[in-house]
Amino acid sequence: MTTQPIYLDYAATTPVDARVAAKMIPYLTELFGNPASRSHAYGWAAEEAVEIAREQVAALVGADPKEIVWTSGATESNNLAIKGAARFHAGRGKHLITPRTEHKSVLDTCRELEREGFEVTYLDVESDGLIDLDKLTAAIRPDTILISTMLVNNEIGVIQDVAAIGALCRARGIIYHVDAAQAAGKVEIDLSATPIDLLSLSAHKTYGPKGIGALYVRRKPRVRLEALIHGGGHERGLRSGTLPTHQIVGMGEAYALARGSMSTENERIRWLRDRLWAGLSAMEEVYLNGNIDARVPHNLNVSFNYVEGESLLMGIKQLAVSSGSACTSASLEPSYVLRALGRSDELAHSSIRFSIGRFTTQAEVDTTIALVTEAVAKLRELSPLWEMVREGIDLESIQWASH
């Protein structure tokens, strides 16, 4: 292969913007000081860079820089927020609520807390991926201490109404954590006006480097956490460890760029996404997963009925996309997110996530439509399910020899 595949997996990670990389490099070579070194100019320069980045990150989400804690990424932020808050407030209650469609770094953190004696309600979502506020309210118990939801879902891109959920939590004294890894730079976040207590951020989903993220920890009213990593007392004791100055500078610059270009970039990306959907939905039996309106412009999660996702990926090797079907792992389980939407096994097994980004072009979208259309047609010719459906056989009526 001499040509690179077309990259349509921006929800997995993004390239570091060249402007971001350029800002980072001096902090690896010349300005290499430890930001915690108070006794010389190397340290002062590094500390200054870290604080500028902190302001840049805070500015994108409408926070005070003092509310930003550096972490290694959104997974760590989610761990720190959920474990840190639950353990600190264990005396008040033992109950947490989170939707079934959360990222594994939230779900597995909750599982760990269950092993420690906490109780977790895994909330069902509606068929469009959104949380029903009445059902959430009904799940709240007197001993509920924390609710954690995503702002934007990583697989289906739907946007939860965090303002409404936050208001609900605030009225009951429940801590509200939001995983915004997929949201930063894609949807407006104004923490000065939204009752969110903890918010996880990542750099590498927003054209920054991997290995750096942040947790927003509200100061008014103050949210208290127990640290996970102990040591030199960095980040006001919430996260010890020498700060990676170059990574932090990269995150700050990436967030500053996102703040400047968000509205025009979203408009362009939405146009590309709509073009892609128009092209793909010209085929029969193609379904969009997740709500179309409450959705980031970057995401298109599509099920191509009667075609298995992994074989489809194999047929579109010139495209870098993700399959909702995890057949590549030993589990053979289709996406738990799509299952939580109540999608049939066939549809869950046949899903592909296309995520568009800053460097996607119209020509790439058009090539994608052509490649996918051809591969789906070929695989349907191979599919006994497609043949049966064409003959008018109801697949539900068949006794499948399954486990």
Work out which of 108, 346, 364, 366 binds other proteins, going by CB under 8 A: 346
Q: Which is nearer to other proteins, 133 or 398 (CB)?
A: 398
Q: Determine if residue 234 is labeled as part of a ligand binding site.
A: no
Separation of alpha carbons 130 and 159, rounded Å: 7
Separation of alpha carbons 56 and 354, rounded Å: 29
Binding status of residue 385 toward other proteins by CB under 8 A? yes
Separation of alpha carbons 384 and 403, rounded Å: 20
Residue 49 identity (one-letter amino acid) = A
User: Is 327 labeled as catalytic in the residue annotation?
Assistant: yes
Binding status of residue 377 toward other proteins by CB under 8 A? no
3-state helix, strand, coil in the chain (%, to 5): 40, 15, 45
Which one is catalytic: 21, 327, 371, 388?
327
**Residue keyed to tokens 């995520």:** 355
Binding status of residue 292 toward other proteins by CB under 8 A? no
Number of shown-chain residues binding other proteins (CB under 8 A): 32
Binding status of residue 332 toward other proteins by CB under 8 A? yes
Is residue 359 within 8 Å of residue 7, measured between CB atoms?
yes
Q: Determine if residue 247 is labeled as part of a ligand binding site.
A: no
Is residue 183 within 8 Å of residue 229, measured between CB atoms?
no
Separation of alpha carbons 98 and 110, rounded Å: 8
Q: Determine if residue 204 is labeled as part of a ligand binding site.
A: yes
For 127, residues 6+ apart whose C-beta sits below 8 A from its C-beta are 341, 342
Q: Determine if residue 202 is labeled as part of a ligand binding site.
A: yes
Binding status of residue 314 toward other proteins by CB under 8 A? yes
Provide the minimum distance between the beta carbon of 122 and other proteins in the complex, in angstroms, as a whole number: 22
DSSP 335-378: PHHHHHTT--HHHHHTEEEEE--TT--HHHHHHHHHHHHHHHHH
Binding status of residue 142 toward other proteins by CB under 8 A? no
| CA-to-CA separations, 85 to 14, 77, 180, 350, 393, in angstroms, rounded | 30, 12, 17, 38, 53
Site for other proteins in 98-137 (CB under 8 A): none
Which of these ranges, 177-185, 207-215, 282-290, 324-332, lies near other proteins under the rule CB under 8 A? 324-332
Binding status of residue 402 toward other proteins by CB under 8 A? yes
- Separation of CA 167 from chain center: 22
Separation of alpha carbons 382 and 201, rounded Å: 43
Q: Determine if residue 298 is labeled as part of a ligand binding site.
A: no
Work out which of 381, 392, 394, 397 binds other proteins, going by CB under 8 A: 381
| CA-to-CA separations, 325 to 52, 140, 285, 332, 335, in angstroms, rounded | 42, 32, 18, 8, 5
Q: Determine if residue 242 is labeled as part of a ligand binding site.
A: yes
Which of these ranges, 101-109, 243-251, 260-268, 301-309, lies near other proteins under the rule CB under 8 A? 301-309
Q: Which is nearer to other proteins, 193 or 401 (CB)?
A: 401
Site for other proteins in 66-95 (CB under 8 A): none
Provide the minimum distance between the beta carbon of 126 and other proteins in the complex, in angstroms, as a whole number: 23
Provide the minimum distance between the beta carbon of 7 and other proteins in the complex, in angstroms, as a whole number: 19
Q: Determine if residue 110 is labeled as part of a ligand binding site.
A: no
The binding site for [2Fe-2S] cluster consists of 327
The binding site consists of 74-75, 154, 182, 202-204, 242, 327
The binding site for pyridoxal 5'-phosphate consists of 74-75, 154, 182, 202-204, 242
Applying CB under 8 A, the residues found at the interface with other proteins are: 306-311, 314-315, 325, 327-332, 334, 344-346, 349, 381-387, 395, 400-403
- Residues serving a catalytic function are 327
